Amino acid sequence: MKTYLNLYSILVALLLALPASAAPEKTSPASLQAWRDARFGMFIHWGPVSLTGKELSWSRANSNPQCPNYGPTPVAVYDQLYKRFDPTNFNAKEWVQIAKEAGMKYLVLTAKHCDGFLLWDSKVSDYNIMHTPFHRDVCAELAQACHEAGLKIGWYFSPMDWKDPDCRNAKNAEFVKRMQSELTELLSNYGKIDVLWFDFDGRTVPWDQQATYALVRHLQPDIVINNRLDCGPGGLFSDPANPASIGPWTDFYTPEQRIGSFDNQHPWESCMTVSTVGQWSWDGNTKTTKSFEECLNMLIHCAGGDGNMLLDVGPMPNGEIAPVQVDPLNKMGAWLSKYGESIYGTRGGPFKPGKFGVSTRKGNTIYLLIQNWPDDPLELPDIAAKIIGSRALTGGDVTVKQGDGKIKVSLQVTDRAKPATIIALQLDQPAMAIAPVDVVEMSQSLTSGKKATASNVYLNMAGYAADKAFDNDIQTRWATDSGTTSAWLAVDLGQPAKVGRAVIEQAFPELQRVKKFAIEYRDGADWKVCYRGENLGATLDTTFEPVTAQEFRLNITEATEGPTIFEFKLFPPK
């Protein structure tokens, strides 16, 4: 092994000695476009931790003060799990077939997560799959299966290693060399690799980034790389949700457990879990899986926002993906086999995501994916192109009228499909020539853009401030600190107004945390209740006895995990 490591060290040293200018700064336009056209991929979090039903890496107790994990599983237990890891039912071709039947176009496997365990035959570290009872190279088998099936393959690779005592410590430079040697193995031994998915943990990022990127680009020139190698506290690219965090060597940014906001200027990919509790690895529970409708809704909104979706599954300890997780994927595949033209190869817009749903476009066609119909017809802002034809992909006879600054879309109620009605609008020119446009509700919320305050904001971050619940953007949200069980969100309308209707949106199932709440208005020094409720779901649209006031608030009296609200809208009485 020592000779092998020396040879790898020489190879890495030669590659790193090349001038940085010799490496392309980003992937080729063709490779990036192919990745964007794919739109939908499978994320796979897996390793010996599946034996415990706990989260990958984060459930490991801390052995390095420079790392953030303080999990419940003692190091002496967690680090020995690999000795019992024997997933004899693992079949790479079956995983790939599940992804293909789901309509997914690429896979990203946690080849190395933060716990340092390697799912490939490594000569750099003995803490790998070949030293388990299983004794098979998972990366090799999965890469081969993807290549044979025509799917793109990617590796998730954690630059930090919470098990390695040298990580972020006095010998960090030596650790980085080993890390780069591991990357060299991953990117040299398994044919063409299409995606490299780095991660970060909110701590320092001493990974010799420029040299590491140069190494990656030389080994796989057409690989698509995310931005997380650069993400860390106080760094230039410290916010992974900020488009500006795409550095000079990376290709896309990565909203996590949320759908990215509309952005057609910077490539992005939301990473989401099929788990309703947000766990990435197998949790041992067959009752914590999102429905087909919930999973498809996430994909639709990613495509409409001009982003990709990487949907995670956590295989079981025996190597199989649980049938309960496969079921919604199969249903997504069936839907995509019929309506995939509205997702694959499209760009988001020109109508930005809104209450009605989303739109996508390619060639001379705009696809409307309508999820919420108002009173007929649906009205959209007019566009600088002529609509010369229309068809309802989901069935029925659609009528489209264009004029007087509006586009009116009508379809019989009985022909409106769930989870989305898809209308294709044929234009007289390329759809990408049309500038993105906001779709404003016909009845504008009285709270839009008004002064907002809150009792608590997640980590005091501006991206989760109170005003995010009043910006008419379903992709942004007000959030509170983890562990918060009560909170309030208030808005000042600027002047007294008569209010008789409220709309509150919590969106995704794992974020529906409000158990008891009241909508209140200020009367002098007192707050009085105009509506009281329990178990706030994805969307509440309710009316109440009209009241006239200037200040209103959502008073959450009982919640779990830290409540979060996407939109809080108030309207005049109907």
Partnered with residue 451 across adjacent β-strands are: 492
pLDDT digits (tens, 9 = 90+) for 392-415: 999 999 999 999 999 999 999 999
Cβ–Cβ < 8 Å for 518, 558: no
Q: Between the CA atoms of 174, 179, 182 and 187, what dihedral angle is there, to the nearest 10 degrees?
A: -130
Give residue 449's pLDDT: 87
pTM of the model: 0.81
Say if residue 75's pLDDT is above 90.
Answer: yes
pLDDT digits (tens, 9 = 90+) for 292-323: 999 999 999 999 999 999 999 999 999 999 99
pLDDT digits (tens, 9 = 90+) for 78-124: 999 999 999 999 999 999 999 999 999 999 999 999 999 999 999 99
Q: Which helix (H) or strand (E) is 380 found in, with range? A: strand 378-381
Say if residue 284's pLDDT is above 70.
Answer: yes
* DSSP of 426-468: EESS-GGGSPPB----SS--TTTT-EEEES--GGG-GGGSGGG
Give residue 13's pLDDT: 59
SS3 542: strand
> How many angstroms separate the CA atoms of 168 and 67, rounded?
8
pLDDT digits (tens, 9 = 90+) for 20-48: 455 568 999 999 999 999 999 999 999 99
Top pLDDT among 510 and 326 is at: 326
Give residue 248's pLDDT: 83
Which residue segments constitute the domains of the chain, with CATH numbers given? 2-339 (3.20.20.80), 349-433 (2.60.40.1180), 451-571 (2.60.120.260)
pLDDT digits (tens, 9 = 90+) for 425-462: 999 999 999 999 988 654 568 998 899 999 999 988 88
